[in-house]
Structure 1
Amino acid sequence: QMKNSGGSNGIMGGRSMQSEEGAAPHAAQTGPRPTAVNGGNGGDPADAKTASQDKQVSPGKRRAADEARFRMVERIIAARLAGDPTLKGLKDQIRFVRTHDGMRIDMVERADFSMFGMGNSVFSPEALAMVHTVARAVDGTPNRLTVRGHTDSHAYAGGSANNWTLSSARADATRRAFSASGIDETRFRRIEGVADTDPFNPDDRADPRNRRISVTLLFSNA
């Protein structure tokens, strides 16, 4: 499944403005959802007051605050990749895409860089360092998250396993890596694998860039 080929674009130059692709059939795993703050039910009154104040902020101001946080995350990731000699060569493997749900961060493979071992969900050391870099930048925001795993079209030779189970396992491995970097589990909205149904390059289903992990920072009202 991990046949190598293809190339990539730049971390900032590769950024694009587009709507998120249509939903594809998938095997979803749903993470724990935050419990609503309720000052009258054992919650912290100060937290309840903050939640009440947040509801009073206009949608326009919430969206502007989200966009400012998204730009901050982009800058932090770009700076950390550029400043780390061990990660500098991976700067082209991260793309930022605005969607109707928020900002999607794509971590993509290339012909000479695989994030995982062949047919498994174990990160390579370089890929794990890249994922931790993204997670630490995201940790500075309050936005909830979704994680989606993707494969290319190569058949998975693993008995009863297939690209659905592989992409789901890789999405969950990313969740665990984010948690190890300090991301609270309650921030995850959805963890899912979509196999090869949502390719990065629809014209070449075997393109290595189709093998990727997508992490979306959701808008505050999502």
Structure 2
Amino acid sequence: MSDQRRPIIIRRKKVVHNHHGGAWKIALADFMTALMALFLVLWILSSSSREELEAVAEYFRTPLTTAIAGGDRTTSSDSAIPGGGPDPAHAEGERARIELRDQSRSAVEQQRLRDRGRAEERRRLRELQRRIEAAIQAHPELRLLRDQMHLDLTQEGLRIQLVDSERRPMFELGSDRVAPYMRELLRTIAPLLNELPNRLSISGHTDSVPYAGGYRGYSNWELSSDRANASRRELVAGGLEADRLLRVAGLADRVPMEDTEPEDAVNRRISLVVLDEWSAEQVLSQGQVAETGEAATRASGDAP
């Protein structure tokens, strides 16, 4: 044998560290998607009306075959005994569910009609706004008051605000005496308000500058109410139908205009709101509740 030694060869195994896979990522993505869908469904349900919720509940009570293919639910019961319902001998339970479904569909249809009617009413109010703005623009003297008129659509209806200014006040200082141009303005828009059957709300507002006697005597409360009624008289004198008036109120300095200081002149204003049907019903219902409460108080006072 040769004395030369055989070389020693060391083989090292190369270890490659692979990832364990991305299956957990897919599972997490599916979970987050389902969670987001759940929150979306809960959000939609929370903003739905009672009628819509009943319609959704009725939909899930309808068998799948009937929902897809249509037909009578009485023949789609999963019970082996025809008729379904709590009593195997009768179909009252199934009939009650059918009546509930019909009522739910009727309620949804009524809500759809109300929404359509309200949209049409908003369109008429926007048209009235354009006619009022055109009438003021066509009048040479009233055109100068355009900056003191603010017309916008609110949740209650079309709001027409006639604001005061230091240079051109709508009323004499501390008085309900109407300035001549304010009188002309109110009598110009009065006939236009008759073009719609909507009811009218008038509210008077003042700034926060108090009277010398504070609120113990004649105050901003009385002044705002007197100015609202003075505006009402001018509108009626201009041709406004008196039965269109639903509410006349004085709010003193409690509702200042947005982004203004309480003592600013623009807070001395008259706000006319052409109420939509829903808002008028709300005002009437509040009055009925108040009358019921007064009648109950009188009855309890007369009781022995």
Structure 2 length-normalised TM: 0.52
Distance 1:203 1:93 in 2: 15
Select the structure of larger CA radius of gyration: 2
Secondary structure of the residue aligned to 1:58 is: helix
Alignment equivalent of 1:219, drawn from 276, 282, 296: 276
The residue aligned with 1:67 is: 122
What is the CA-CA distance between 1:202 and the residue it aligns to?
A: 5.3
Letter matched to residue 149 of structure 1: G
User: Counterpart of 2:179 in structure 1: which amino acid?
Assistant: S
Matched, 1:97 2:152: yes
| Aligned amino acid, residue 73 of structure 1 | L
Secondary structure of 1:132 counterpart: helix
Structure 2 unaligned regions, length at least 5:
1-109, 280-304
- 1:201 deviation in Å? 4.5
Larger RCO: 1 or 2 (CA < 8 Å, sep 6+): 1
Q: Give the secondary-structure state (helix, strand or coil) at the position aligned to 1:113.
A: coil
User: Which string of whole-angstrom CA distances, capped at 9 and with x for unpartnered residues, describes residues 176-218 of structure 1?
Assistant: 1111122222221111001011111454111110000001111
The structure richer in helix per residue is 2
The alpha-carbon distance between structure 1 residues 203 and 87, as it changes in their structure 2 partners (threshold 3 A), is closer
Of 118-127 and 153-162, the range deviating more from structure 2: 153-162
Q: Which residue of 2 aligns with 1:151?
A: 206
Counterpart for residue 191 of structure 1: 248
Q: Which consecutive unaligned segments of at least 5 residues does structure 1 have?
A: 1-54
Identity %, equivalent residues: 36
CA distance in 2, matches of 1:157, 1:138: 38
On the 8 A contact 2:126/2:153 being kept in 1, the answer is no
The counterpart of 1:132, out of the listed 176, 187, 190, is 187
The CA distance in 1 between the partners of 2:138 and 2:117, in whole Å, is 32
Do the aligned partners of 1:201 and 1:209 also contact (CA within 8 Å) in 2? no
Q: Indicate whether 1:142 and 2:197 are aligned.
A: yes
Cα separation, 2, equivalents of 1:111 and 1:62? 42
Q: CA contact under 8 A between 2:211 and 2:218: conserved in structure 1?
A: yes
**Structure with a larger share of its residues in strand:** 1
Structure 1 position 162 matched with structure 2 position 232: no
Q: CA deviation at 1:120?
A: 1.1
Contact 1:121 1:170 in 2 (8 A): yes
Consecutive aligned runs of 4 or more in structure 1 exceeding 3 Å deviation? none
Q: In the aligned structure 2, how far is the partner of 1:203 from the partner of 1:108? A: 13
Conservation of the 8 A alpha-carbon contact between 2:150 and 2:161: yes
Whether 1:206 and 2:300 are equivalent positions in the alignment is no
Alpha-carbon shift at residue 90 of structure 1 (Å)? 0.5
Compared with structure 1, are the counterparts of its residues 80 and 203 closer, same or farther at alpha carbon in structure 2 (3 Å cutoff)? closer
Aligned residue identity for 2:199: R
> Which residue in the other structure is 2:163 paired with?
108
Which letter does structure 2 place at the counterpart of 1:70? L
- Letter of the 2:194 partner, please give it: D
* Code of the aligned partner of 1:208: A
Cα distance in 2 between the residues matched to 1:82 and 1:221: 31
Structural RMSD (CA): 2.2
Match of 1:93, as an amino acid?
A: Q
> For residues 50-97 of structure 1, what are the alpha-carbon distances to aligned partners after superposition, in whole Å with 9 as ceiling and x for unaligned?
xxxxx9x93123213321221222111211111111111101111122
Q: How many equivalent residue pairs? A: 168
Give the letter aligned to residue 141 of structure 1: L
Task: Give the partner amino acid of 1:214.
Answer: S
- TM-score of the superposition, structure 1-length normalised? 0.70
The one-character-per-residue Cα deviations of 1:111-144 (angstroms, maximum 9, x if unpaired) are: 2111111111111000111112222221211100
Q: CA deviation at 1:165?
A: 0.1
